Amino acid sequence: MSQADIQTATLSNGNSLKVHTQLFINNKFVPGNGPLIETINPVNEEVICKVHSANEKDVDAAVEAANVAFKNVWSKLPAAQRGRYLNILADLMERDKDELATLEALDNGKSFVVARDVDITDAIGCFRYFAGWADKIHGHTIETTYDKMCYTRHEPIGTVAAITPWNYSVMMPAWKLAPALAAGNTIILKTSEVTPLAMLKVAELIVEAGFPAGVVNIITGYGHTAGAHLTGHHGVHKMAFTGSTETGRRVMDGSAKSNIKKVQLELGGKSAQLVMKDADLQNAAVQSCGGIFNNHGQSCNAGSRILVHEDVHDKFLELFIAEAKKIKVGDPFDPEVTQGPQINKAQFEKILSYIDIGKNEGAKLVHGGRRLGNKGYFIEPTVFTGCNNNMRVMREEIFGPVVAIATFKTTEEAIEIANDSDYGLAGGVYTTDIDTGIIVSNSLEAGTIWVNCYDVFDQSTPFGGYKQSGFGKELGLDSLKEYSHIKSVKIQLVSRL
């Protein structure tokens, strides 16, 4: 591996580390033919390094490598061997967990502790979980008629292209890489051009783990070039996308206009958290505060609408603001910091504009709402009350540390308000009555509902949305079906009795 692709990045504490900056195709780091892209440290707004980007020619090379590897190597391997590769990669990521977390904190701005103990830990667990499934993917025999035998096969799709966002720059790729590889597919991963550094380190570990060349290819580049070419490429057999609903539409369009490839979309959200009259208000305050302010509010499933029964609104608000005040905003490498900067200037300015919109719409700003410091993209956790579902802060995805709180009188009204949304990714309900918890959960139009908790993930639990939050499932056994063709084989039997 040449040194030409490696640069030195400096951390806010003065330490430095080496970073890969080239594309990873066919087990080699190679220069891209697109323009160099500056990656910006959101803490100080300074350039970390410049990374290579892929153009159409580079995408073609990655697709060719993946197709060759699928046909000649990966599809022919015993399934248990695929699982062993995934386990080896997980072990190497565990060994280098601190370095991966450092790269994510540097590139993304999230707390190093959170990056290490949540994001990287989850990604490692994801690879291990699907490693265990690799040799347990199979079909069934089906009883039809006495003179016919029928069985099904779960077969890999072929070459998968995955496009992942900047907010979870290792975890989201793992959610796609692990099931795709376990099911027998090869893959081209396009990272966000905003946060590519940690996954380029994972690429180095993929080589060390011994993966055959071409099985995993990792590129970065712009959506309108590399992303669009992947989406419309006839050599790609499935698109897995996480990102905005607007871009998701373009992914569907390009996939349909090319070879009608299989599509899986995990898109935006405006999730509601319902605090019922009988809720444990202290727990509801703690959980719902994390539900919106985790990852600086930059989560597709963020519980950014909180609906509170009018009888307990004032007490809940007091407890909620007390929790919000505990959040320490600052340098991600400070171990006491839980909220770093927003990802970049564009997102920072968008969030501040929504805070102004909320004020102008008549929502009451009761906490936060300001920029912190003169450098970096830091915004206080922000709380609006007196909201209604006609306000933009209640209807549109802000993707930042801003929560809109409204009241309700009855359970039926709360469900109606919660479901009055274009999105349906997640939701939450806080209650001490199990019947209420089940009834409300069953009534909410969203793919994941948490009861008396929020933002709790496990590799075994499927995750995906309703409505304009997309379709298809990440994680769990259901996700393996997203990366498989199911074939039915029916055989006429000739009786010899």
Dist CA 158 CA 185 (whole Å): 5
Dist CA 267 CA 468 (whole Å): 7
CA dihedral (109, 111, 113, 116) positive or negative: negative
- What CA–CA distances, in Å, run from 323 to 178, 288, 316, 319, 372? 36, 10, 11, 6, 18
Closest by CA position to 170, among listed 226, 114, 213? 114
Dist CA 105 CA 201 (whole Å): 14
Dist CA 46 CA 376 (whole Å): 9
Cα dihedral value 354, 359, 365, 369, nearest 10 = 40
Q: What strands lie across the sheet with 216-220, from one edge to the other?
A: 28-30, 23-25, 216-220, 186-191, 159-163, 238-242, 262-266, 470-471
- What CA–CA distances, in Å, run from 215 to 9, 66, 181, 197, 309? 29, 6, 8, 20, 52
Q: Which two tokens stand for residue 484?
A: 């498989």
Q: Which of 104, 193, 266, 482 is catalytic?
A: 266
Question: Beta 216-220 vs 364-367: how paired, if at all?
Answer: unpaired
Helix, strand, coil % in the chain, rounded to nearest 5: 40, 25, 35
Instruction: Please check whether residue 229 is in contact with residue 254, taking contact to mean a CB–CB distance below 8 angstroms.
Output: no
Closest by CA position to 334, among listed 137, 109, 121? 109
Dist CA 416 CA 418 (whole Å): 6
Dist CA 71 CA 56 (whole Å): 22
Dist CA 111 CA 435 (whole Å): 38
Dist CA 332 CA 102 (whole Å): 9
CB atoms within 10 A of CB 286: 18
Q: In this structure, which amino acid lies at residue 304?
A: S
Instruction: Please check whether residue 243 is in contact with residue 95, taking contact to mean a CB–CB distance below 8 angstroms.
Output: no
Question: Beta 402-408 vs 305-309: how paired, if at all?
Answer: parallel
Residue 215 is given by DSSP the state S
* 349 among known catalytic residues: no
Q: What residues are labeled active site?
A: 266
